[in-house]
Amino acid sequence: MALPTRDAILPMLALLGLSKETNKPVSRLTDSLPKRYIASDRIQGMPTNKSQQLIASLIDNPEAMIDMLLPNATHVLTIDQTDGLRVEFNTGDIVHLRPSGNAPELRFYAESVTKMRAKKILVKFINEVKNKTEKNNINKNKPIMQGN
């Protein structure tokens, strides 16, 4: 059983609030939403400062950001740094990187129009970070991919 944290409770409350506001049952609210799929994973053993350095380097170099996160994109539409780095690309795909608040790991989320595309974006990013960390001796003997 999952712990009832703010991450679990807030989306439920938002959905219930929208249901009341629109006078629609919760079961009908998703009918008007676009179909989106999310793949997520984490890189364990990556200290917060290394995660923050990676995020800062991507923000400082939009071309590198596109190359590392979504090479078929031509440009970035939005960047949100509220909780790590959330980037929306001209392809409609969204990626979100954030250091964990309670463990030495970097969390990564990819959102796209198909499950397969979201997973491909995720795997490419994990492999890119794995290659970079091996070159820089970060995480040398730690597992790289955990989760979904």
- Residue 90 and residue 59 share a domain: yes
User: What domain range includes position 131?
Assistant: 34-135
Model confidence at 148, pLDDT cuts 50, 70, 90, reads: very low
3-state secondary structure of 113: coil
Position 143 in a domain: no
Output the pLDDT for position 141. Answer: 43
Q: Within a 10 A sphere around the Cβ of 80, how many other Cβ atoms?
A: 12
pLDDT tens readout for residues 80-132: 999 999 999 999 999 999 998 889 999 999 999 999 999 999 999 999 888 87
Q: Domain count for the chain, please give it.
A: 2
- Residue 50 and residue 6 share a domain: no
Average pLDDT, the chain: 85
The distance of Cα 97 from the centroid of its chain, to the nearest Å, equals 5
- The model carries a pTM of 0.74
Residue 130 near residue 54, CB atoms below 8 Å: no
